[in-house]
Amino acid sequence: MAILVLAEHDNASLKLDTAKVVACAQAIGGDVDVLIAGDECAAVVDAAKLLSGVRHVLVAQSAQYANGFADNVAQLILDLADDYEHILAAATSQGKDTLPRVSALLDVAQLSEVVEVVSSDTFVRPIYAGNALATVQSHDAKKVLTVRTSAFDAVSNDGAADVVIIDKVFDSVTQFVSQSLSKSERPELGAASVVVSGGRGLGNGENFAILEKLADKLGGALGASRAAVDAGFVSNDLQVGQTGKIVAPDLYIAVGISGAIQHLAGMKDSKVIVAINKDPEAPIFQIADYGLEADLFDAVPELTDLL
Amino acid sequence: MKVLVPVKRVVDANVKVRVNADNTDVDTANLKMAINPFCEIAVEEAVRLKEAGVVSEIVVVTVGPKAAQEQLRTAMALGADRGIHIETEEALVPLSIAKLLNAVQEKEQAQLIILGKQTIDGDNNQTGQMLAALANMPQATFASEVKVEGDCLAVTREVDGGLQSISIPLPAVVTVDLRLNVPRYAKLPNIMKAKRKPLETLAIDDLGVSLKQHQTVLKVTPPAKRKAGVMVASVAELADKLKNEAKVI
């Protein structure tokens, strides 16, 4: 049976998340089709065609799909669902918004944030902020999953899928009003191989500049703990944790972060964790590969200079 | 208008849970339980809408064991008007919970349903969306700002790249994010008053909903332990280890 993957994109570019979900689909096994619901998204279609191992790229273009709202995109997926045994999306804000709606309409249970494929009906997913891993077998005829993309390596770009146009349009009752997206020259948090994160210890938003310097030197992304976001130091889309982004970079540098359960849930699968904190009792040191007990305002500039 | 707020009893957010010895579940016996933090934010938002004169009645509902009535009482102490307890000892998947909530909604006909975006035990982030689908309502997930504007709801959502503002027609389902508000504490007189507020207990059968067995949890295991780390004495040593030992830079 075939697998449908909902593409993650912004009408201008295809997100790397999609290539990672395709990797999860290939681990399940079967023909993989990628659905692009959007508007004026030719560049996204071109990128999706190259994804390794993809059979068809299904393209539904309409102003109604421009913002990827859950109400009508779920209807669109439901309309295609007969041909698929698995329906997958990245566990991003869009995937989390849309797929449960699809599941309910199909009357099947969803598995969220899958990190491992055991077989075509059995999957592993974290529960309790990642403090336990549940291996769950689905008895539903169709399996709807969101995929934790940090747990899968993106497929390569050597494919040659053909394009299938879907001209059915479902209307959304959701009205788009506005959006304010953070602009950054740095790599995207979820995709970066190095993440430098700051917490309450930074004291204020201006002090994040020293982390930015370190991040730029390493070609990394900037992250933050909930405390730093709540205090208004940085915008909320930088939050790493149970309720923010889940990252697993090669190197995670936690600066001025105590290491609450909810923060660890978002970064403890990083390959190497460095903690810089002046409190030797901070829980972050228990999971750090390298810990440095020091004042971050001395240590971070010094480290930036040494690298 | 009437607001329905589903809440859940979960292990307190500050408690670190452990997997039980036979790897069948996490051990929740004798742990401190509390109202799910996101549900608390949902209750707070409903109370604020009532204080603003937009909402006339707040109904809180929970699906869970008898002890979950404590969390309904907490919600009532925070300002909810009455509670509905759907009693079951079974751990249900979000779809089943959404079906039960939808049955309650069919009776209550609330104009607005506010839920937390996820519970911190299952980490599913599904119930609100599923309920919206079953009730055939629009949804606004991950809300950080909610305003009722006539027949519509203006919501600012926390999305991956930043913030998105949308407008949806009522009735609607909203799931709330952390930054929507800071929940208040229950005051002692309100805790006393909450004991006298109406609380209706229903069995699953009373709602005429048939639930299915969708999945089986085969095992629950602790996550892989990380190798013990080292403390370095200086920034120079740290830089050296990262370059030459971990080889990450």
Contact between A175 and B167 using a beta-carbon 8 Å cutoff = yes
Check whether residue A261 and residue A119 sit in a common domain: no
How many Cα atoms are found within 13 Å in the side-chain-facing hemisphere of A305? 7
In a domain, B187, yes or no: yes
In a domain, B130, yes or no: yes
Check whether residue A7 and residue A125 sit in a common domain: yes
Nearest by Cα to A25 from A123, A107, A94: A123
How far are the Cα atoms of A67, A175, A285 from residue A70, in angstroms, in the given order?
Answer: 9, 12, 41
Report, as an integer, the average pLDDT of B105-129. 97
Domain end, chosen from A109, A130, A165, is at A165
In a domain, B234, yes or no: no
Report, as an integer, the average pLDDT of B75-85. 98
Contact between A108 and B95 using a beta-carbon 8 Å cutoff = yes
pLDDT value of position A183: 83
* Domain span at B195: 2-224
- A114-135: per-residue pLDDT in tens? 999 999 999 999 999 999 999 9
In a domain, A105, yes or no: yes
Contact between A113 and B154 using a beta-carbon 8 Å cutoff = no
pLDDT value of position B50: 98
In a domain, A182, yes or no: no
Choose among B14, B144, B169: nearest Cβ to A173.
Answer: B169
Q: Does B138 touch chain A (CB under 8 A)?
A: yes
Choose among B177, B215, B236: nearest Cβ to A136.
Answer: B215
In chain B, residues 94-123 whose CB comes closer than 8 Å to chain A: 94-96, 98, 117-118, 120-123
Question: Looking at this predicted complex, what is its ipTM?
Answer: 0.94
Domain CATH for B196: 3.40.50.620
Domain CATH for A136: 3.40.50.620
In chain B, residues 185-224 whose CB comes closer than 8 Å to chain A: 212-223
In a domain, A84, yes or no: yes
Least confident of A194-198, A297-301, B12-16, B154-158: B12-16
In a domain, B136, yes or no: yes
Residues that constitute the known binding site of A for FAD:
200, 225-226, 239-243, 256-263, 277
- A284-306: per-residue pLDDT in tens? 999 999 999 999 999 999 999 99
Contact between B95 and A107 using a beta-carbon 8 Å cutoff = yes
pLDDT value of position B247: 82
DSSP string, chain B: -EEEEE--EEE-TTPPPEE-TTSSSEE-TT--EEE-HHHHHHHHHHHHHHHTTS-SEEEEEEEE-GGGHHHHHHHHHHT--EEEEEE-SS---HHHHHHHHHHHHHHH--SEEEEES--TTT----HHHHHHHHTT--EEEEEEEEEEETTEEEEEEEETTEEEEEEEESSEEEEE-GGG--PPPPPHHHHHHHTTS-EEEEEGGGGT------EEEEEEEPPPPPPP-EEESSHHHHHHIIIIIS---
Check whether residue A132 and residue A195 sit in a common domain: no
User: pTM for this structure?
Assistant: 0.95
Report, as an integer, the average pLDDT of B109-129. 98
pLDDT band for position A229 (cuts 50, 70, 90): very high
Return left, alpha or beta for A85; rule: phi > 0 is left, psi -120 to 50 is alpha, else beta.
alpha
> At residue B249, does pLDDT exceed 80?
no
- B25-61: per-residue pLDDT in tens? 999 999 999 999 999 999 999 999 999 999 999 999 9
Check whether residue A12 and residue A161 sit in a common domain: yes
Nearest CA-CA distance, residue A182 and chain B, Å: 6
| Distance between CA atoms of residues A24 and B117, nearest Å | 25
Q: Does B37 touch chain A (CB under 8 A)?
A: no
Contact between A136 and B217 using a beta-carbon 8 Å cutoff = yes
In a domain, A240, yes or no: yes
* Domain span at A293: 189-306
**Which residues of chain B are within 8 Å of residue A178 when distances are taken between CB atoms?**
164-165
In a domain, B13, yes or no: yes
> At residue A184, does pLDDT exceed 90?
no
pLDDT band for position B186 (cuts 50, 70, 90): very high
Report, as an integer, the average pLDDT of A139-157. 97
pLDDT band for position A238 (cuts 50, 70, 90): very high
Q: Does B227 touch chain A (CB under 8 A)?
A: yes
Q: Which residue of B has its CA nearest to A240?
A: B160
Report, as an integer, the average pLDDT of B157-182. 96
Question: B94-108 and A93-106 are packed helices; what angle lies between their axes, rounded to 10 degrees?
Answer: 70
In a domain, A170, yes or no: no
pLDDT band for position A18 (cuts 50, 70, 90): very high
In a domain, B207, yes or no: yes
Check whether residue A204 and residue A131 sit in a common domain: no
Domain CATH for A246: 3.40.50.1220
- B192-213: per-residue pLDDT in tens? 999 999 999 999 999 999 999 9
**Which residues of chain B are within 8 Å of residue A289 when distances are taken between CB atoms?**
226-227, 229-230, 246
pLDDT value of position B194: 98
In a domain, B248, yes or no: no
pLDDT value of position B227: 87
How many domains, in total, are found in chain B?
1
pLDDT value of position A3: 98
Q: Does B142 touch chain A (CB under 8 A)?
A: yes
Q: Does B127 touch chain A (CB under 8 A)?
A: yes
Nearest CA-CA distance, residue B196 and chain A, Å: 34
* Average predicted confidence (pLDDT) for chain A: 96
pLDDT value of position B156: 98
How many domains, in total, are found in chain A?
2
> At residue A230, does pLDDT exceed 90?
yes
pLDDT value of position B212: 94
Report, as an integer, the average pLDDT of A66-75. 97
In a domain, A183, yes or no: no
In a domain, A171, yes or no: no
- A254-274: per-residue pLDDT in tens? 999 999 999 999 999 999 999
In a domain, A63, yes or no: yes
Contact between A133 and B179 using a beta-carbon 8 Å cutoff = no
pLDDT band for position A185 (cuts 50, 70, 90): confident
